[in-house]
Structure 1
Amino acid sequence: MTVSLLDISTYLPGEPVPAAYYAGFAESDDLRDNVMFKAPRFRHHVGEDETAIDMVERAAAGIVERHGQDTIENVDILITHVQLPDVPFYGGGGGMAHRLGMKPNWVLDLHNGGCAAFVLGMKLAQNLIESGQGETALIAVAQNAAGTIFDQKTIRTKAQASVPGDGAAVGLVARSDKSPILDIECRTYGEFAGDMAISMQPARKWWQPGPGEGSIGFTESKITKVLARGNRQVPEVSYAVCDRIGIKPKDLDLLVTNQPNRAFLRNWREALELPRERHRDTFEQCGNLFAAGIPVNLERAISDGQLKKGDVALMAAFAHAGDFAGAAAIKWGGRD
């Protein structure tokens, strides 16, 4: 049985927010010169009243236009990931299904996939389809933390606030041999799961009220560890997939990764011996898109003809402080 990634559609909210926006708020920050926090030229921010469900609905418009509303309504499996759930007690899958007119047999909200959630969603969709649980799946991801958490008044003064951007994407997966998923590798590194934390001053649990706003608890030591893990994990899962499909990384037609910063992007393509023109990124236009990074960049490559029919594309990413990583290869069959 062959399962394919048939199409991707994306959405970026609002007008581009320039780097000068954050420069105007910047205060003294010991991490200001760290390679992790070199600001992109632009990024996008989710609207003040825009929900993750809104973002996914807008991202799905391209799929509806190209494949018809009936295709969406008849999807069997909905897999979602939202960086900042609209309600903390449950994911957005149910609301997304309703908004899109779907009544799927499976609705699954993923959290552990982080920046690699699209790859994890592909793996889950493939497994469910191959096991006979459905014919089609929709993977929906929304990154909405930039214009919310990172734009809080006391957080946007920090170096970390200038890097994230918001966006959403949906991918259509189905039993088909048109754009086959060649292989997927997913690895969990549970020993690192506690290394990403929310920091507040004065210290408290994230749900407790208090005067200080929450941000990611970065330190020089943690950043050094995350850089080392990311530099190692993404090439590891990428080489594992390439080995199994019988292609050398340097012979890939396209590499698409998550895009935390310029340093990771450079290190990953060098580790895979790929020239810059075959590693697609939108970092300067969109910043760190978290889980939306892979599908947004893959869709751009498809739409402008960089990824051609018959090309092999590899998607790879790591999540959080290095507690998960995944890579997936497809042979692109083109859009109808």
Structure 2
Amino acid sequence: MELADTAAPAHAPVSLVDVSSYLPGDPVGTEYFTQFARSDRMAKNVMFRAPRGRHHVSRDETAVDMVERAAAPLRERHGTDLFRDIDILITHTQLPDNPVMGCGPEVARRLDMRPNWVLDVHNGGCGAFVHMMAMARMIMQTTDARTALIAATQNTAGQVFTQTDIRKLAQAPVPGDGCGVGLLVKNDEAPILDIECRSYPEFAGDMDFSSGSERKYWEPGEGQGCVSFTESKVTKVFARGNRLVPEVALAVCDRIGVKGRDVDTFVTNQPNRLFLRNWHDALELPAERHPDTFDRCGNLFAAGIPVTLDTENQAGRLRNGSVVLMAAFAHAGDFAAAAAVRWGAGR
């Protein structure tokens, strides 16, 4: 794809030079959930139509374990000293193992890293991979940092959605677990062409994490914690998602001088089949240019973009020099982000 001529960038280029990922355990079929399912009108909602499969993290597998396993292929491809030279480490974990602190310092210890910047970000939701790209690029363009590792971990499927009361719910079969990581370097090898991040705080209260009782999640008592929506809120979230992802994606396209229909590969978060169809229709893209890992992995939340990128890259379907557009919206619509890169990770 040819890009429109633009002025030289104000800052040094930053590249997404590689991605890798990890899916825990054996695939879990939908029949696991059907044995527990109860009659629920929410199950008919398009938001909760189940994928054919997904992966579940085990009870004793931590977010740090998942990042370490996702990052292992990067070390194999780039050499044993790769992580010692990382200047920036940014992580996002859907369900922190320790609610008081993030996993970043332990990831650095496990990978034998000595980064000057260690950040654990909890906002960004399904758009966190793009959010972390934006943060890493900003740091590299304003400091002497030259390399970054970003990691997005989704670990609620096997820990939250298989609880005895929660696995009966319509939404329980939709999530899957996984982790995706990206390696960024201050060079022009596979440059980030543009990034758009938008916050919508007016929608922040439309998704809840509740125990189904009056107790706080950390207090003892009855009830099992779960992300929840009312049926009326689901309708609103669906409308927002249909709008927000194309908006941020096309904003990036406009600034880099391409039409949505001319993007080589469009990679999004993977909430459900209808979102996927609506999003590539909005960009006037054929389905084959919008990779779909939903039926194999379920909704991977923040890990959806890097896992899908890695899947496509390892299959040889991402051509070096092509324009890859990433986009996602988070939670009930309080955040949306998009980024375009000139692909150069190869295989």
**TM range, smaller chain:** over 0.9
Give the conservation status (yes or no) of the 8 Å contact 2:319–2:346: no
Q: Partners in 1 of 2:59 and 2:110 — Cα distance?
A: 20
Unaligned runs of 5+ in 1: none
Counterpart for residue 253 of structure 2: 242
Q: Secondary structure at the match of 2:97?
A: coil
Q: Partners in 1 of 2:221 and 2:41 — Cα distance?
A: 24
Counterpart for residue 290 of structure 1: 301
User: Of the candidates 151, 176, 184, which is equivalent to residue 173 of structure 1?
Assistant: 184
Q: Partners in 1 of 2:229 and 2:182 — Cα distance?
A: 32
Q: 1:185 and 2:196 equivalent?
A: yes
Counterpart for residue 203 of structure 1: 214
Amino acid at match of 2:315: D
CA displacement at 1:133 relative to structure 2:
4.0
CA displacement at 1:303 relative to structure 2:
1.0
Instruction: Show the 5 A alignment for 1:1-336.
Output: 1-335=12-346
Q: Secondary structure at the match of 1:224?
A: helix
Post-superposition Cα deviations, 1:232-281, rounded to whole Å, max 9, x if no partner, equal 11000001000000000100000000001111111101111110000012
Q: Partners in 2 of 1:199 and 1:176 — Cα distance?
A: 45
Q: Partners in 1 of 2:336 and 2:239 — Cα distance?
A: 13
Post-superposition Cα deviations, 1:184-204, rounded to whole Å, max 9, x if no partner, equal 000000111111112333333
Amino acid at match of 1:101: D
Number of aligned positions between the proteins:
336
Amino acid at match of 1:73: R
Q: Secondary structure at the match of 2:42?
A: coil
Q: Secondary structure at the match of 1:150?
A: coil
Q: Partners in 2 of 1:334 and 1:205 — Cα distance?
A: 45
Give the conservation status (yes or no) of the 8 Å contact 2:15–2:187: yes
Unaligned runs of 5+ in 2: 1-11
Q: Secondary structure at the match of 2:194?
A: strand
Comparing 121-130 with 203-212, greater Cα deviation is found at: 203-212
Q: Secondary structure at the match of 1:138?
A: strand
CA RMSD between the two structures: 1.0
Amino acid at match of 1:327: A
Post-superposition Cα deviations, 1:4-35, rounded to whole Å, max 9, x if no partner, equal 00000100000000011111110122311110
Post-superposition Cα deviations, 1:37-71, rounded to whole Å, max 9, x if no partner, equal 10100000001210000000000011000011212
Comparing 28-37 with 137-146, greater Cα deviation is found at: 28-37
Post-superposition Cα deviations, 1:306-327, rounded to whole Å, max 9, x if no partner, equal 1101110000000000000000
Q: Partners in 2 of 1:163 and 1:210 — Cα distance?
A: 27
TM-score, normalised with respect to structure 1:
0.98
Post-superposition Cα deviations, 1:150-183, rounded to whole Å, max 9, x if no partner, equal 1111000001110000000110001111100000
TM-score, normalised with respect to structure 2:
0.95
